[in-house]
Every structure is written in C-alpha cells, then in structure tokens.
Amino acid sequence: MLIDITTVISSLVAQLPLIAIAILILILYIERRLKPIESRIEEYSRSLNTLIDFNEVMLSIQISRGLITDAEYRALTVLLSSARPIYKSKYYTKEVYEKLGLLLKKSPDEITWDDVFELEKIYDLLLKEAIESKRDDLARYAGKLKALIAIAKGLLLRRGVLPPPKRDEQI
C-alpha cells in the first residue's frame, strides 16, 4: 500500500496549528514556572550588593577610626599578590593579570583614584570570568580584591584625596 506524498503533506499541514498551539502552551508554562526563580535570583543579587556596600561602609568607618592602617593594606596586597589566580580565560587575560600585579605593588601612599578605578575594572572582569567559567577561585579572589578596593578608597579619603567628579557630573 503506497501512500501518496500529497496526502502525507496535507496531513502534516493540517496538524501544524495543533503543533503550534502545543509549543505555545509549553513556552507559556515554562515561562510561568521560571518567573518566580528569576525574581528570587534578582532578590539574591540585590541582597548581595547590599552586603557588599555594607562591608565597604564598615571598612570606611574602621579606616576613619584608625583601626585599619597602611600596614593592613600592605599585608592584604602581599596576600593578593601571592594568591593571584592563573590567567587562562576570556576576560582575565595576561594583560589584566600583569596590570593587577603592578597595582598590587604600589604602596598606600602611591595609590590614586585611577588605580582604584582600574582595580574595580579588574574586579568586574574577575566576576564575569568566574560566572562564565564557573571558577570559584576567581570569585573568592574577587571578594578579597573588593575588600582591598574599599580599604584603598578609605585610605585615599583619609589622606584628603577626594574622588574626581564623574564625567556626567562635570560642567
């Protein structure tokens, strides 16, 4: 028994609306199921950012009281220098690795706001790479680097060096 090709095609075309509806229902169902997960991830992200900001404020208070000094800054830079993760990635490249090494060699008296901004860029690159490559070592290192950045900001402010105005704030 041979089936005519036109019969097969017309049968498939007749079922296309049913297939399209089934796919649409699946998409809507999956989207509805993922919505709560997406909102929970956004909530966790906001909470994490709040904790990071709180940590920076606490470090600033400790610096202003003289509890964290140049010695602690130097100790943290030595730790970060010796623990620098291996570069072998898309964002955390050899150039970024070398730039980080140069920044970590600077003494607290030499650090500038430009250096702090560079460290923040490196922090962002480390986080991007940690997320994309699922390298926990990069995420842990980035957390330590963020603490160093907060200390550097506090030391600069304690020296009376204010951050430059943002480009959109300039007249």
Residue 122: closest CA among 80, 92, 88, 87:
92
Q: Report if residue 1 sits inside a domain.
A: no
And the tokens for 129?
């790479």
What is the predicted pLDDT for the residue at 170? 46
DSSP string, 91-138: SS-HHHHHHHHHHHHS-TTT--HHHHHHHHHHHHHHHHHHHHHT-HHH
Distance of CA 168 to the CA centre of its chain: 23
Q: Report if residue 139 sits inside a domain.
A: yes
* Sign of the C-alpha dihedral computed for residues 41, 45, 46 and 47 taken in this order: positive
Buried b (16+ CB within 10 A) or exposed e, 143-166: eebbebbbbbbbbbebeeeeeeee
Q: Report if residue 170 sits inside a domain.
A: no
**What are the pLDDT digits (tens) for 127-139?**
999 989 888 899 9
- Structural domain of 39: 8-159
Q: Report if residue 3 sits inside a domain.
A: no
Residue 141: closest CA among 122, 156, 155, 160:
122
- The confidence band for 169, taking pLDDT boundaries of 50, 70 and 90, is very low
Q: Report if residue 117 sits inside a domain.
A: yes
**What are the pLDDT digits (tens) for 58-108?**
888 888 888 888 899 999 999 999 999 988 778 999 999 999 999 999 999
Contact criterion met (CB below 8 Å) for 144 and 80 = yes
Q: Number of folded domains in the chain?
A: 1
Q: Report if residue 16 sits inside a domain.
A: yes
Q: Report if residue 88 sits inside a domain.
A: yes
Q: Report if residue 169 sits inside a domain.
A: no
Q: What is the DSSP letter of 160?
A: T
- The confidence band for 50, taking pLDDT boundaries of 50, 70 and 90, is confident
- The confidence band for 166, taking pLDDT boundaries of 50, 70 and 90, is confident
